[in-house]
Structure 1
Amino acid sequence: MVSITWAVVLFTATAAVATPSSRIIGGQEVPIEQYPSIVQIEYLIPVVSIWRYSCGATIVSNSWLVSSAQCFSGRSFLGLSSRRMRAGTSVPGEGGFIVRFSSYLNHPDFNKKALYDSDITLLRLVRPLTWSAAVQPAPINLGGSELPDNSPVVVAGFGAVEADTSEEMTDLQEAAVFTVNTEECRRRYKDFLNENVTDTMICAGLLDVGGVDACIRDTGGPLYYNNDNSNVDVLVGIVSWGFWRACGDFTFPGVYTQVSAFTDWILANAV
């Protein structure tokens, strides 16, 4: 077993480090108070001027979120005027409150070494958040820390609840999965799909069982590890990619951005 040194990163206006001891497939509904750090990213449909849910994100300070760089790049991204965030609600597109963004920063290595490598972005809010039972920051783990294989983790999101209904959304869901050995995950994706799992990624799912996974529109949302010593849900991953034909496939686990690979970058830029 690999020993882990956890650091809870408590963010307020500035960051300090302390050392303490698309819908989910196969999950269950939970209230926003269960995971108050998760928020919704909405995009503007220009022709009809309608806002729709598109991605997830996680609060890491009162002024900053982390999400997937996929959600803030490509042809569909028309600039920050076409994106906003909704916090404090478990219902997609309803309730809570809305805050716009003042800036964003995709990681400079995004998509360079491999597709979806360094899939992380920092989002700065135009005004700071006020904490409540439904709005809280998530701590992140110390740079370089890695979970042992088969560690219990939880993915949360607002994406598809069935692989064949990926455009439908329901209320906030959670699903329990386990971390998968990186080499085994890498072998499966490379041998069967010719896709690359890099060292900045973490795999999680129910290997050779399936039925539980993140799915379309969960992208950018959190993968949490509960530190039993402090009863804190630590942000260890960001929903990134997986087997495109079917969420929850038994052969291919979900692939997440490994947050600990970017802790130093987050601390250096989210100020």
Structure 2
Amino acid sequence: MTTTAGTATGTAPRSAELFQRAEARTAHNYKPLPVVVEHAEGAWMTDVDGTRYLDLLAGYSALNFGHGHPGLLRVAHEQLDKLTLTSRAFVHDRFADFCAALGDLCGKELVLPMNTGAEAVETAIKVMRKWGYEVKGVTPGQANIIVASGNFHGRTTTIVGFSDDPDARDGFGPFAPGFTMVPYGDLAAVEAAIDENTVGVLMEPIQGEGGVVLPPDGFWKGLRELTARENVLMAADEIQAGLGRTGRTFASDHEEVVPDLYVLGKALGAGIV
């Protein structure tokens, strides 16, 4: 949507120049729209030619709180003047409060911060496997995780290995074993796939990459009941659907479900980090 000079489908002179320069020196892993943003506030973006756009993408959920939220920018500026980065070899003065607040929000005892959503998914995979070996007693090296068709959990080699999207996986193998794919929203298929080596089910409460895909009513609640009964961990990838994007804190909340693991990202950094 535009409100000033320019059109949503055409590309004005400066945008065209900058877009072509970027395309010339950037690996083509994305096909961006020919929009070169210079300023944004709330839900509105302005490109380098002065055209305004209503941003309905929200940065794939990185901007759930809007562009440049003044309260978030204020505390970010205050923090940058004090301390920017420490390694995990130290504990900085905000770490305890952050982990406690996030854990309380999720209703969980422990939090493990990572850098990106894909890293968060990889960490959930590691947690489920380690739990399977050390708690459930799965034979070492045999752990299996059930995933859904049409999934999108990130772009690391492990994750694209259990994608069924050719654009995500073609040309990047060989892939790690240990994943079983079932149709999204098919509870009977999940149940049939569970065996003695199954340590977890990793799914999105709402799929968001290949179009917004909602599971059948009751699927998410049924999955919670099934995994609890079968002694299998349930990991909810809420990176795109969580933190307020669907009108509840988590998309899982729509069916009053609390998974064993929440996988979060994007909006957690408020579009700033």
Higher normalized helix content (fraction of residues): 2
Q: TM-score range by the shorter chain?
A: under 0.3
TM-score, length-normalised on structure 2? 0.24
Higher normalized strand content (fraction of residues): 1
TM-score, length-normalised on structure 1? 0.24
Work out which structure has the larger RCO, using CA pairs closer than 8 Å and 6 or more positions apart in sequence: 1
Whose Rg is larger? 2
